[in-house]
Amino acid sequence: MALKRDEQTLYGPIVVAHAKGYRVISMYSLLMAQQDKLQDLYTEVHYLSTKDPLSLINNRRGFFDAVNQKAGHDP
């Protein structure tokens, strides 16, 4: 079940229950935490897609990314 809120309360505070009671958080804080987590996951996926898991050196994609970076081109 998805969280459904009307537009007027969409960015209002959210009350979250946990073991020690309740906590009020803002939608902004929640979105920023999710953005940080997504950025961490993107960084990890990019690393895994450019490195050989056994030797930890650049694979073919990592090689071309490094060459393009040195040449001043976007990967």
Q: Say if 27 falls within a structural domain.
A: yes
Residue 33 lies in a domain: yes
Residue 69: partners with Cβ closer than 8 Å, 6 or more residues away: 75
Question: Model's pTM, two decimal places?
Answer: 0.57
Q: How many domains does the chain have?
A: 1
**Residue 39 lies inside a defined structural domain of this protein:** yes
pLDDT tens for each residue of 27-41: 788 888 899 999 999
pLDDT at 1: 43
Comparison of pLDDT for 1 and 55, the residue scoring more? 55
Q: How confident is the model at residue 20 (pLDDT cuts 50, 70, 90)?
A: confident
Domain that holds residue 31: 14-71
Helix (H) or strand (E) holding 24: strand 21-25
The arithmetic mean of pLDDT across residues 59-65, rounded, is 94
Residue 29 lies inside a defined structural domain of this protein = yes
